[in-house]
Structure 1
Amino acid sequence: MPRAARVKPENAVYHIIIKSISEVYLFNNNCDKDDYISIMKHYQTIYKFRVYAYCFMSNHAHFIIDPNGADISKIMHSINFKFAMTFNKKYKREGPLFKDRFKSKIIHSDRYLLLASAYIHKNPMAINQYKSCPEKYKYSSLSTYLGLKKDPFKIVEEDFIMTLLNDNVKKSRKQYLFLLFGNDELLEKELKIEDNKTEYKSEKTLLVRNFNPMDIINFIASKLQINKIKLHIKNHRDYTKARALAALLMRSLCDFRCKDICEILGNITQSRVSTLCTMGANIIKEDNKFKDIIYDFISLHSA
């Protein structure tokens, strides 16, 4: 029987849970967690989604993710598929790594958002050495919530949830501690409320994902001062950067799959499009000239 499509309101924020199959640890060590985080950061560059909380355990991980107008299924499939390939190659194994698809619950209120973040941050307390000090666990965003240190992985925006408690930073952190060390049974009960699929608005401007790909082609050609026809030339090193940036913007802002980008650029494989998207993401991260190129395009075409 085919899987039912997920209900995905445009403005939804999600509590995401990923789990490995029963006989395999998802993260054998910290290096595996670092690999997943690196892949997540890569796709943040492409899709511009927001992470509000995270915690990595041995056989599962929790996230609160605001897709920011992107498709949550595409985001999680991209991350998990890449990680599974990396993991299987690293450990010389074959077959599935994840248990089914990722689990997701739509966050339907500020209260649920706070409770979900607390539930996520309590996970390390199942480990003896962190039972009374979960904030010391490296692979959780709790220490950032409490102001003990900045997020070492630079993937989380903790202030969005913390300001729901109090505009005063010190007071909000104190209140969050009460929430964190509160009644476990009550927390579990609250989180088991049936998800009614209502929409939770993050009150942040979402990225539009339905731009015309030809506008992107024209924009990139103008930005790099080349003839737009050059973007359709295969295997020409002089135009690889332009093609990479065009592929990245189409993946990010047209809600395109690699197959769709193949049709726009022409005479190119899906594998090559995937490589170009990776190159485009690296260009944005490494070259200050292009770091804001996605927002530059949006500001030019959203009037």
Structure 2
Amino acid sequence: MPRMAREKSFDSIYHVMVKSISEVALYQDEKDKIKYLDFVKKAQDQFEFRVYSYCLMDNHAHFIIDANGADISKIMHFVNYKYAMYFNKRHERHGHLFQDRFKSLIVKDDRYLFALSAYVHFNATDIKGYETNPEEYRFSSLSIYLGQKTDEFELVDDEFILSMFSLKEAAARGMYKDFVFKVKSIVDVKKEEFINEGTEYRSMRTVLVRDLSPDKIIEIITKEFDIDKLMLRIKRASGAKEAKAILCFVLRKFCDLKCCDICKIVCMGQSNVSKLCTLGRELIKQEKYKGLLQEILKETA
């Protein structure tokens, strides 16, 4: 039976749930949970989406993700594919790990977003030892919202939701705590099915543009590295590896291209393009390339 097309909007906020197949725990221990969040962080560096809240359980996990102009399917495929490969290798198993595709619902309005945030954070009360103190659970973003812990995994944007409570940080955190612990959920989110029938939710958020011209980006990269365009198409071109790596990374980030599309541009296989994207993600953080992404956005505006 063919799968239903996923409801998507590139400027929407999503409630995303991932779940393992019934006979396997998605996370066997804390190391697995740390690794999963590490892959989420790598995906965030690549696609520049926002995470508003999350909670990892044993056989499933919940996230509130602002796609920020990216394709939610590409984001989750990036995370789950890499995690499944890691998990099977570490635990010496084969076969599928996740139950079907990830589930997603478009957040419809502020009221639903507040309720959803409370629901996601209250999942931790189902874990033994955290029934009355979910804020102490390491793999939930609740403690970040309450200002009790720093963002260990550098994932969460808590300012967006907190700013809807108050523009003063201390007051916002206090009001959010009262909301979560007293209201818990305005909507019975737990019983709502993931049927992908949500309506788009837009707010005053700024959304990253993803339809930049690949030709213009290539022009900027070749100028930055002072190389000929042909060098980007030669597999082992001397001195062009960093340029190709940053090009692959930027094409994924700003052009919403699939890996196979980038393969045609740089004349390389998907495995090599994937490795170059990873290298590009690390290179762009270096001091010598500081400001390059902003320059690309400026030049292509």
TM-score tier (shorter): over 0.9
Q: Alpha carbons of 1:161 and 1:128: their partners in 2 closer, same or farther (altered >3 Å)?
A: same
Question: 2:5 is paired with a residue of what secondary structure?
Answer: coil
Q: Which residue of 1 aligns with 2:205?
A: 204
Deviation at 1:188, TM superposition (A): 1.9
Structure 2 residue runs of 5 or longer lacking an equivalent are: none
The equivalent residue for 2:90 is: 90
Inter-partner Cα distance in structure 2 for 1:298 and 1:94: 43
Query: Which residue is equivalent to 2:273?
Result: 273
Counterpart-to-counterpart distance in 1, 2:230 and 2:65: 38
| Partner residue in 2 for 1:132 | 132
Cα pair 1:11 1:201 within 8 Å, conserved:
yes
Report whether the alignment pairs 1:179 with 2:182. no
Distance 2:99 2:291 in 1: 37
TM-score under structure 2 length normalisation: 0.94
1:15 partnered with 2:15: yes
Partner of 2:107: 107
Which residue pairs with 1:54 in the alignment?
54
SS of alignment partner, residue 300 of structure 1: helix
Question: Once the 2 structures are TM-superposed, how far is the Cα of residue 293 of structure 1 from its aligned partner?
Answer: 2.8
Aligned partners of 1:125 and 1:288: how far apart in 2?
43
1:169 shift after superposition: 2.1
Q: CA deviation at 1:196?
A: 4.8
CA distance in 2 between counterparts of 1:185 and 1:175 reads 15
Whole-Å separation in 1 of the counterparts to 2:205 and 2:298: 16
Deviations 1:270-302 (A, max 9, x none): 1111111111112123x1222443332112211
Contact 1:13 1:202 (8 Å CA) reproduced: no
Letter in 1 for 2:54: Y
Distance in 2 separating the partners of 1:105 and 1:115:
14
Moved more, 272-281 or 222-231: 222-231
**Partner Cα distance (2:277, 2:197) in 1:** 36
Task: Give the Cα separation in 2 of the matches to 1:190 and 1:128.
Answer: 19
CA–CA separation in structure 2 for the residues paired with 1:77 and 1:9: 17
One-letter identity of the residue aligned with 1:51: V
TM-score normalised by L of structure 1:
0.93
Inter-partner Cα distance in structure 1 for 2:103 and 2:221 = 37
Instruction: Return the alpha-carbon distance in structure 1 between the equivalents of residues 199 and 187 of structure 2.
Output: 20
Asked if residue 288 in structure 1 is aligned to residue 287 in structure 2, the reply is yes
Indicate how the Cα distance of structure 1 residues 165 and 195 shifts in structure 2: closer, same or farther if over 3 A, else same: farther
- After TM superposition, the structure 1 = structure 2 runs for residues 146-185 of structure 1, keeping only pairs within 5 Å, are 146-183=146-183
Paired-residue identity, %:
44
Determine the structure 1 residue equivalent to 2:300: 301
CA 1:164–1:183: 2 relative to 1, 3 Å = closer
Q: CA–CA distance in 1 between the matches of 2:291 and 2:191?
A: 38
Report the number of matched residues.
300
Mapped partners of 1:191, 1:203: distance in 2: 29
Task: Go from structure 1 to structure 2 and tell me whether the alpha carbon gap of 1:292 and 1:18 turns closer, same or farther (over 3 Å shift).
Answer: farther
Deviation at 1:222, TM superposition (A): 1.1
The CA distance in 1 between the partners of 2:26 and 2:196, in whole Å, is 27
